[in-house]
Amino acid sequence: MVSEQEIKNAVAVLRAGGLVAFPTETVYGLGADASSLEAVKKIFAAKGRPHDHPLIVHIADAVQLANWARDIPPAAGKLAKKFWPGPLTIILRRSAMATDLVTGGQDTVALRVPSHPVAQALLRAFGGGIAAPSANRFGRVSATTAAHVRSEFGAAVECVLDGGAADVGIESTIVDLSGDKPTLLRPGWITAAQLQDVLGEPLAAPDAQSPRAPGTLAKHYAPQTPLLMMEADLLLELAASLTRQGRRVAVLARSAHRPLLPGLAWVVASADAKGYAHDLYDNLRRLDEAGCDTILIEEPPQDTQWVAIKDRLMRAAAGVEEDLA
Ligand code: TXA
Ligand code: MG
């Protein structure tokens, strides 16, 4: 997959203050040495990301938590023991190691121990923390393959480690443990119920006191083509009426059967949540590349394992109803 030599080269790029795109089990990350201001600045420049959007610091193991955070509550240890390495990000009060650029000027820092073997190999060989947002341009669809990363950044990111398609396919669950009560800031493959089981207390929803998580902006993870989400019946009706008007429509179907309509691009998503999440961003890219006027997504089920998928789809669709109206 990725050779030892490639890991060595990537470490050299990180030490020289450069950017390395690397696979994690959730999505690909665009990494830089978290302790170098100059290196971290390059992430913001490459992504076109506003500076008040904080980054996740990736570390090889939970032992390194103490380098980046202080006043670490027992709950962090419990979650780390159960879910790390894995698709969970924990927000804690920051130490002096975490610079304003990494934290967006907040008093907290986001930390994650990824499980992907290439991410692990890179973190172990590098030794320090790697600040890494998802490897996509700001507001756009996350990258789950090395090819996605290259199509987002081209030559601007010289080092891309190819670890195959990301297993989970959607970004990590983010839980804030910096305040009085544990708070879910971003749903992910690890569900609120799983976290509550381990914590032994309910998770709060973010309020005015919670740290800002600007990546949870209403509109995010969005293809260029306007995207709408709806039930299968309505979707088929709308697809028929739009194509009658000569518009080209791209559909992400789950249970709906393909109707015989002209100008229709039709992608069938997996019926189970795991497969759906795994393919989600690749499917959104394919729908976008079909060059249609509108993307219609068949609404996923209500069960808990679909919450994070629905969250991403709603953000991808945000603002479109108004645009079309
Ligand atoms: O799965 C993931 O989490 C991927 C992989 C690469 O690890 N990373 C990722 O990073 O999704 P990014 O930057 O696209 O999203 C990180 C989210 C953003 O919504 C950001 O606002 C939030 O984490 N965040 C980072 N630091 C924070 C902090 N100190 N307080 C609150 N939210 C924070
Ligand atoms: Mg992102």
pLDDT of residue 221: 72
The residue type at 5? Q
Please give the Cα distance from 170 to 277 (Å, whole number): 6
Nearest atom within ligand 1 for CA of residue 174: 23
Give strand pairing partners of 124: none
For residue 99 the two structure tokens come to 């610079």
pLDDT of residue 322: 42
Asked if residue 59 has its Cβ within 6 Å of ligand 1, the reply is: no
Q: Please provide the DSSP assignment of 229-284 as one string.
A: EE-HHHHHHHHHHHHHTT--EEEEESSPPPP--TTEEEEEPPSSHHHHHHHHHHHH
244 C-alpha to ligand 2 centroid (Å): 37
Q: Please provide the DSSP assignment of 117-178 as one string.
A: HHHHHHHHHH-S-EE--BSS-TTSPPP-SHHHHHHHHGGGS-EE----S-SS-SPPEEEE-S
Note if the pTM is more than 0.85: yes
Q: Whose CA is nearest to atom 19 of ligand 1?
A: 215
> Which of the listed residues 40, 89, 210 should we mutate to test ligand 1's pocket, taking the one with most ligand atoms within 8 A of CB?
89
CA distances from 98 to 64, 65, 171 (A): 12, 11, 22
Nearest atom within ligand 1 for CA of residue 87: 1
Q: List CB-based neighbours of ion ligand 2 within 5 Å.
A: 134
pLDDT, averaged in runs of 10, over the chain (325 residues): 96 98 98 98 95 95 97 98 98 97 96 98 98 94 97 94 98 97 96 98 85 67 90 97 96 95 94 97 96 96 95 85 41
Say how far residue 324 (Cα) sits from the centre of its chain: 27
Report yes or no: 57 and 113 within 8 Å, Cβ to Cβ: no
Nearest atom within ligand 1 for CA of residue 215: 19
Asked if residue 112 has its Cβ within 6 Å of ligand 1, the reply is: yes
Do you find a cis peptide bond into 85, omega within 30 degrees of 0? Answer: yes
Asked if residue 187 has its Cβ within 6 Å of ligand 1, the reply is: no
Per-residue pLDDT tens for 218-238?
667 778 999 999 999 999 999
Please give the Cα distance from 309 to 3 (Å, whole number): 33
pLDDT of residue 324: 40
- Of the candidates 51, 39, 48, which has an alpha carbon nearest to the alpha carbon of residue 137? 48
The residue type at 298? E
30 C-alpha to ligand 2 centroid (Å): 10
Q: Which residues contact 154 (CB under 8 A, 6 or more apart)?
A: none
pLDDT of residue 320: 59
133 C-alpha to ligand 1 centroid (Å): 6
CA distances from 35 to 44, 56, 182, 290 (A): 15, 12, 27, 41
Q: Whose CA is nearest to atom 17 of ligand 1?
A: 215
Please identify which residue in the block is written with the tokens 């290439």: 118
- Of the candidates 187, 177, 181, which has an alpha carbon nearest to the alpha carbon of residue 80? 177
Asked if residue 39 has its Cβ within 6 Å of ligand 1, the reply is: no
Q: Whose CA is nearest to atom 30 of ligand 1?
A: 211
170 C-alpha to ligand 2 centroid (Å): 10
pLDDT of residue 219: 67
Say how far residue 106 (Cα) sits from the centre of its chain: 21
Report yes or no: 250 and 287 within 8 Å, Cβ to Cβ: yes
Q: Which residues contact 237 (CB under 8 A, 6 or more apart)?
A: none
Asked if residue 19 has its Cβ within 6 Å of ligand 1, the reply is: no
239 C-alpha to ligand 2 centroid (Å): 30
Residue 5 CB-half CA count within 13 A: 0
> Which of the listed residues 25, 101, 118, 171 should we mutate to test ligand 1's pocket, taking the one with most ligand atoms within 8 A of CB?
171
Domains of the chain, start order? 4-199 (3.90.870.10), 227-317 (3.40.50.11030)
Asked if residue 141 has its Cβ within 6 Å of ligand 1, the reply is: no
For residue 285 the two structure tokens come to 């890219």
pLDDT of residue 209: 74
Q: Which residues contact 201 (CB under 8 A, 6 or more apart)?
A: 181, 182
pLDDT of residue 205: 86
Q: Which residue spans within 45-107 are E strands per DSSP?
A: 56-58, 69-70, 88-94
Q: Whose CA is nearest to atom 6 of ligand 1?
A: 29
CA distances from 206 to 32, 132, 139, 188, 260 (A): 29, 23, 21, 15, 45
